[in-house]
């Protein structure tokens, strides 16, 4: 996004200069200009719950944060693509495999677009999916545990950005490449990009019961940049729409060279047709390498499997499956209204918003109203699919969401505002400034047939002077607007973790009743679990030592261990025997090159310690768990590598 914005900025430099001053002026005028009852509208009394969950992506933090609306309170940061020492994610032995890729262990990514699973076109609150852009991956988070339970790498992709959006029964989660690359990858001159680099659009099936992901097929497309996408719904269910830029197929000085064409395309993909083709044996298996990482819900351990091939589909082999709709000008957002009839292309460099009609698109295909083709893919005549344009609504349109009353809301980065307009008449109804430089916006249920149009959340790139300063780096933020009336009303600013690119929201009642409170100890199938203090032990196998440890208020068992030697690999497998809600224990070991563990009731987690020095080394509980939390401590005696200290462990008695 940042690069894309830079190019926009370069081209419309004059406008930028104008709007930056404008921003300053707005800031002064608007502070304190809120209506008196605004505080009430966002006030959630102590002990009460918010009405909506909002899952806001962290961009370069790689994570997904959970907020309540309307309060804007942060409840949790769910670690997804980045290691998180707070939760031991990517540090403990159980979750390290989640971050495995074909490039090895990659403990970071750039996470942009969360999308909640749907049933019959309505948000169902079971899972939320999110894309990793940089090392292309799609993650699935289970909304009963709020944990990342699956990550699938996307081969033949680069800058996995037009992702991760789900179809109306979560048949597929879709991942499109932003950058085109040689497919398969190979050593070749960059200047030979045009005609040789390709873009891949990946359709990943989601098992309706367990949510397991599996790549069904990859559509290998011309070498454009596939920026954003959205599923058809209702009447257009079975189709998927992708915005493109760089239809020039440039590979250098993109801010100029990828802005030459008057129109780029929205690609319309009939995935049902391709699915049928593939089910009948169509497509070509291509050798490749990608990781599929799954967290087993019984053992609570992740495994990483390397997959070796992927089914690719050439669009020319499936006539009638792919069409291109010309759309001015380097469109970013590609948004579909709740009825599935309208597809909005937000041309970043266009004065107007372009809206396509699904019905007109079908008619154009039927009548073959084509204006040529691109690499054999028919280009629909611009006027033939055009539903209408929203005339000069603002500068630098990025994204559109919809309410439940037939209105659309579009963000404008350069003029820094949200503009409300009427679907069908295309008239602008209202506008509200954003502080500042808004990217995405989110209405709970926005990507579905049933938006809950009470609030819109705008996610901003720039907040200078809006909060107490924190050095050169200041927070990004979100802003909450009430959209229940005719006019939008700004209610609240709240800071966010990382760069909030997009969010998904839903009524709290969809998720709250299913939220897990503990893991049942009896269901714990971790191979190193100790389910009672009687099961605790220390086992040496050559230079590897496994400690089967338990924790309960307020001690570890064992808490004295001897016979560990310098150069050993010591695995602490710690089971939390508690079965009460909200009683985790932690454990940390001096000098361990990893994080602490934070172990939920009934769960087993493991960290590795490789002692380097002789001595007696303490460990302790890192989570304040009871009045005697400070007493939750223990010692490990480490002897020289060649010592004869016998292996012993105990609790409540002196060793020897």
All residues at 6 or more sequence positions from 18 whose CB lies less than 8 Å from its CB, including other chains: none
Among 585, 594, 603, 638, binds ligand CUA (CB under 6 A): 585
Look at residue 180 and give its three-state secondary structure. coil
Q: Does 1 contact ligand K7E by CB under 6 A?
A: yes
431 interface partner picked from ligand CUA, ligand K7E, none, CB below 5 to 8 A per type:
none
Q: How many CB atoms lie within 10 A of CB 640?
A: 11
- Dist CA 3 CA 246 (whole Å): 13
Q: How many residues bind ligand K7E (CB under 6 A)?
A: 12
Q: Which lies closer to ligand K7E via its Cβ, residue 3 or residue 252?
A: 3
- Per-residue DSSP letter, 644: -
Q: Which lies closer to ligand K7E via its Cβ, residue 60 or residue 217?
A: 60
Q: Does 398 contact ligand K7E by CB under 6 A?
A: yes
Omega before residue 124 within 30° of 0, cis: no
Q: Does 440 contact ligand K7E by CB under 6 A?
A: yes
- Per-residue DSSP letter, 84: B
69, β-bridge pairs: 52
Span from 164-172, 375-383, 557-565, 618-626 in contact with ligand CUA (CB under 6 A) = 618-626
398 interface partner picked from ligand CUA, ligand K7E, none, CB below 5 to 8 A per type:
ligand K7E
Span from 7-15, 352-360, 508-516, 623-631 in contact with ligand CUA (CB under 6 A) = 623-631
Q: Does 112 contact ligand K7E by CB under 6 A?
A: yes
423 interface partner picked from ligand K7E, ligand CUA, none, CB below 5 to 8 A per type:
none
Q: Does 422 contact ligand CUA by CB under 6 A?
A: no
Q: Does 574 contact ligand CUA by CB under 6 A?
A: no
Q: What are phi and psi of 629, to 5 degrees?
A: -55, -40
CA 448, 449, 451, 457 torsion-angle sign: positive
Q: What are phi and psi of 432, to 5 degrees?
A: -135, 135
446 interface partner picked from ligand CUA, ligand K7E, none, CB below 5 to 8 A per type:
none
Q: Which lies closer to ligand K7E via its Cβ, residue 498 or residue 602?
A: 498
Burial 413-438 (b: 16+ CB within 10 A, else e): bbbbbbbbbebeebebebbbbbbbbb
Q: Does 178 contact ligand K7E by CB under 6 A?
A: no
272 interface partner picked from ligand K7E, ligand CUA, none, CB below 5 to 8 A per type:
none
Q: Does 269 contact ligand K7E by CB under 6 A?
A: no
Q: How many residues bind ligand CUA (CB under 6 A)?
A: 7
Q: Does 211 contact ligand K7E by CB under 6 A?
A: no
Look at residue 20 and give its three-state secondary structure. helix
Query: For residue 449, which of 123, 55, 113 has the smallest C-alpha distance?
Result: 123
Q: Does 633 contact ligand CUA by CB under 6 A?
A: no
Q: Does 629 contact ligand CUA by CB under 6 A?
A: yes
- Dist CA 168 CA 449 (whole Å): 8
Nearest residue to ligand K7E on Cβ basis: 439
Q: Does 348 contact ligand K7E by CB under 6 A?
A: no
Q: Which lies closer to ligand K7E via its Cβ, residue 402 or residue 619?
A: 402
Give the Cα-Cα-Cα angle 423, 427, 430 (nearest 5 degrees): 100
Report yes or no: 353 and 345 within 8 Å, Cβ to Cβ: yes
Query: For residue 135, which of 151, 114, 147 has the smallest C-alpha distance?
Result: 151
Query: For residue 267, which of 295, 304, 228 has the smallest C-alpha distance?
Result: 228
Furthest CA-CA distance within the chain:
91
- Dist CA 49 CA 642 (whole Å): 59
- Per-residue DSSP letter, 428: E
- In the window 130-159, what residues touch ligand CUA (CB under 6 A)? none
Give the Cα-Cα-Cα angle 268, 459, 391 (nearest 5 degrees): 55
CB of 552 to ligand CUA, least distance (A): 8
Q: How many CB atoms lie within 10 A of CB 201?
A: 27
Span from 388-396, 470-478, 590-598, 620-628 in contact with ligand CUA (CB under 6 A) = 620-628
Q: Does 439 contact ligand K7E by CB under 6 A?
A: yes
CB of 532 to ligand CUA, least distance (A): 17
Among 502, 528, 548, 556, binds ligand K7E (CB under 6 A): 502
Q: Which lies closer to ligand K7E via its Cβ, residue 61 or residue 149?
A: 61
Span from 287-295, 358-366, 484-492, 622-630 in contact with ligand CUA (CB under 6 A) = 622-630
Q: Does 533 contact ligand CUA by CB under 6 A?
A: no
First to last CA, the chain: 64
- Dist CA 53 CA 509 (whole Å): 9
Q: Does 161 contact ligand K7E by CB under 6 A?
A: yes
138 interface partner picked from ligand CUA, ligand K7E, none, CB below 5 to 8 A per type:
none
Q: Does 113 contact ligand K7E by CB under 6 A?
A: yes
Q: What are phi and psi of 211, to 5 degrees?
A: 80, 5
Residues near ligand K7E, by CB under 6 A: 1, 112-113, 161, 228, 332, 398-399, 439-440, 501-502
Residues near ligand CUA, by CB under 6 A: 585, 621, 623-625, 629, 632
């Amino acid at each position: 996004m940042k690069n894309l914005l830079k190019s926009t900025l370069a081209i419309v430099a004059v406008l930028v200069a104008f709007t930056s001053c404008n921003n300053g002026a707005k800031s002064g005028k608007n502070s304190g200009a809120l209506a008196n009852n605004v505080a009430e509208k966002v006030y959630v009394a102590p002990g009460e719950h918010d009405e909506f969950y909002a899952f806001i992506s962290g961009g370069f933090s790689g994570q997904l944060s959970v907020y309540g609306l309307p309060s804007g309170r942060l409840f949790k940061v769910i670690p997804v693509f980045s290691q998180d020492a707070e939760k031991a994610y990517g540090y403990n032995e159980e979750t390290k495999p989640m971050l495995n890729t074909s490039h090895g262990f990659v403990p970071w990514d750039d996470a942009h677009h969360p999308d909640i699973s749907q049933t019959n076109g309505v948000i169902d609150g079971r899972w939320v999916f999110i894309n990793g852009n940089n090392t292309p991956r799609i993650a699935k988070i289970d909304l009963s545990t709020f944990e990342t339970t699956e990550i699938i790498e996307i081969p033949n992709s680069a800058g996995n950005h037009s992702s991760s959006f789900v179809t109306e029964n979560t048949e597929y989660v879709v991942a499109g490449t932003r950058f085109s690359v040689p497919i398969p990858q190979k050593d070749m001159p960059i200047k030979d990009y045009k005609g040789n680099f390709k873009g891949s659009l990946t359709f990943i099936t989601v098992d309706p019961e367990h949510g397991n992901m599996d790549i069904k097929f990859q559509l290998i497309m011309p070498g454009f940049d596939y920026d954003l996408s959205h599923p058809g719904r209702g009447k257009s269910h079975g189709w998927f729409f992708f915005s493109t830029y760089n239809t020039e197929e440039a590979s250098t000085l993109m801010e100029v060279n990828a802005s030459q064409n008057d129109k780029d395309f929205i690609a319309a993909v009939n995935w049902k047709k391709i699915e049928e083709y593939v089910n009948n044996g169509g497509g070509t298996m291509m050798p490749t390498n990608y990781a599929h990482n799954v967290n087993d819900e019984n053992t609570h351990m992740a495994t990483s499997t390397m997959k070796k091939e992927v089914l690719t589909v050439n669009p020319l082999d499936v006539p009638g499956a792919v069409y291109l709709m010309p759309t001015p000008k380097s469109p970013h957002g590609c948004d579909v209204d709740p009825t599935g009839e309208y597809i909005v292309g937000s041309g970043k460099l266009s004065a107007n918003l372009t809206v396509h009609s699904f019905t007109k698109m079908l008619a154009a295909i039927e009548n073959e109203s084509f204006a040529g083709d691109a690499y054999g893919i028919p280009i629909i005549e611009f006027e033939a699919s055009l539903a209408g344009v929203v005339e000069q609504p603002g500068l630098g349109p990025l994204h559109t969401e919809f309410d439940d009353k037939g209105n659309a809301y579009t963000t404008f980065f350069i003029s820094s505002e949200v503009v409300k307009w009427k679907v069908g008449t295309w008239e602008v109804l209202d506008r509200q400034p954003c502080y500042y430089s808004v990217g995405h916006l989110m209405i709970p249920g926005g990507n579905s047939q049933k938006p809950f149009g009470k609030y819109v959340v705008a996610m901003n790139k720039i907040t200078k002077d809006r909060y107490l300063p924190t050095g050169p780096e200041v927070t990004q933020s979100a802003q909450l607007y009430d959209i229940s009336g005719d006019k939008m009303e700004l209610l609240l600013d709240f800071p966010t973790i990382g760069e909030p690119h997009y969010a998904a929201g839903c009524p709290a009642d969809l998720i709250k009743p299913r939220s897990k409170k503990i893991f049942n100890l009896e269901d714990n199938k971790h191979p190193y679990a100790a389910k009672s203090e009687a099961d605790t032990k220390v086992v040496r196998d050559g230079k590897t030592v496994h400690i089967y440890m338990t924790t309960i208020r307020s001690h570890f068992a064992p808490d004295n261990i001897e016979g560990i030697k310098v150069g050993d690999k010591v695995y602490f497998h710690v089971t939390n025997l508690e079965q009460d809600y909200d009683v985790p224990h932690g454990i940390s070991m001096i000098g361990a090159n990893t994080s602490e563990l934070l172990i939920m009731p009934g769960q087993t987690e493991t960290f590795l310690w490789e002692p380097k020095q002789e001595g007696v080394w303490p460990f302790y509980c890192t989570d304040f768990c009871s009045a005697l939390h400070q007493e939750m401590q223990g010692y490990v005696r480490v002897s020289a590598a060649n010592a004869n200290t016998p292996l012993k462990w105990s609790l409540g008695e002196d060793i020897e």
